[in-house]
Amino acid sequence: MSSSQPQAISERAFRHIQTLFAHESGIRLSRAKQGLVASRLHSRLRQLGLADLDSYCELIAGERTNAERNVLVDLLTTHETYFFREPRHFEHLADTVLPSLRDKPVRVWCAAASTGEEAWSAAMTLAMADINSTWEVLGTDISERSLTAAERGLYRTDRLQHMPSSALKQFCLRGKDDFEGAMLINGTLRERVQFCRHNLLDSPRQFGKFDVIFLRNVLIYFEQDMRQKIVERALEALNPGGWLYTGHADSVLDLELSLETVAPSLHRKPLAGTSTMAQRAVRVRASPNRPQKTPEHASGL
Ligand SMILES: C[S@@+](CC[C@H](N)C(=O)[O-])C[C@H]1O[C@@H](n2cnc3c(N)ncnc32)[C@H](O)[C@@H]1O
């Protein structure tokens, strides 16, 4: 049986997990992450009654389904998120994007939605806006456990400090008795918000086109080649003239993209025919020696 402290991880087990995780998620774990891997998987070993990560690797190699692989991906990815994180994107959505779309239907995709706070925040922004159009929000993530929480829409009230009080009043039900200290997203938003599993490395073709894509606080975990692929994939699903929001720590300036960067985390897909001129202009202005964030700089994985 495993001890109460994470054990040192064997070279063989680390390489196995490194390869598996890169294959599943596209994220490459550096050697410096060995301790982090051991500590994040430690309680899973205890739950399964396994002695070490070598036995865990054997279990995964022998399984017929992807169930334990999915658990591994969930445990090794970072799910930090909160309501109305980086609020300027929600202000931009309400003040600039929605008026420009006039009364056309609006589609928003939160492409690394984690436990749902970002998708619900986008939905609240749309529901509070003075528009006549219909709208919908799709939240996707690679982590099944996160998506289950997102769909449930039940959050501890101490996680709501960034939520405007008007949104709290309109869209949240305060829990009582067993649910004291929690709040539930109410039915007004639920019928327009959907969650499903999607890997950012895969084509998003089945989702159709969006006017706005949130791809925030996830690129930071990937190396340049994977970031290139992920943003290209996302852009496949963005309407011409549509907006891409990235996190403040996410970098796209070193990528070759047909994208106009209006502000560091605010990008626009050119309207058909306007080509990549704007992106080129931005790329020239950005210093070629500017250090880019890599997974080494990230606080988690
Ligand atoms: C730090 S959270 C960001 C949540 C939210 N976008 C925000 O800014 O608050 C990063 C999310 O990316 C997800 N993720 C990591 N790799 C992924 C991949 N290859 N495909 C889809 N989601 C991925 C993780 O599961 C995690 O929930």
82 within domain boundaries: no
296 within domain boundaries: no
254 within domain boundaries: yes
pLDDT of 293: 33
CATH number at residue 23: 1.10.155.10
174 within domain boundaries: yes
Instruction: Name residues contacting ligand 1 (CB within 6 A).
Output: 25-27, 77-81, 85, 112, 114, 118, 141-143, 146, 199-201, 216-218, 247
* CA of 274 relative to ligand 1 center, distance in Å: 31
pLDDT of 273: 60
pLDDT of 260: 94
Q: Whole-prediction pTM value?
A: 0.90
Number of domains in the chain: 2
- Which domain, by its residues, includes 23? 11-76
199 within domain boundaries: yes
232 vs 190: CA distance, rounded Å: 30
Same domain, 205 and 69: no
DSSP state letter for 63:
-
Same domain, 36 and 129: no
Same domain, 197 and 261: yes
Q: Which two tokens stand for residue 152?
A: 């449930």
> Is 141 an annotated catalytic residue?
yes
Nearest C-alpha neighbor of 137 from the set 204, 198, 191, 59: 191
Atom of ligand 1 nearest to the CA of 247: 8
294 within domain boundaries: no
3 vs 137: CA distance, rounded Å: 44
| DSSP per-residue letters across 208-221 | --EEEEEE-S-GGG
43 within domain boundaries: yes
192 vs 10: CA distance, rounded Å: 47
* CA of 141 relative to ligand 1 center, distance in Å: 6
CATH number at residue 180: 3.40.50.150
Low-confidence ranges of the chain (pLDDT < 50): 1-2, 276-301
Tell me phi and psi for residue 297, to 5 degrees.
-85, -15
Count the residues in the chain: 301
Taking CA atoms only, the protein residue closest to ligand 1 atom 23 is 142
42-78: string of b/e by CB count within 10 Å (b at 16+)? bebbeeeebebbeebbeebeeeeeeebebbbbbbbbb
Same domain, 43 and 159: no
* CA of 65 relative to ligand 1 center, distance in Å: 23
63 within domain boundaries: yes
Catalytic residue from among 74, 141, 211, 250 = 141
pLDDT of 54: 95
Q: CB-side exposure of 216: number of CA atoms within 13 Å? A: 33
> Is 40 an annotated catalytic residue?
yes
Taking CA atoms only, the protein residue closest to ligand 1 atom 19 is 25
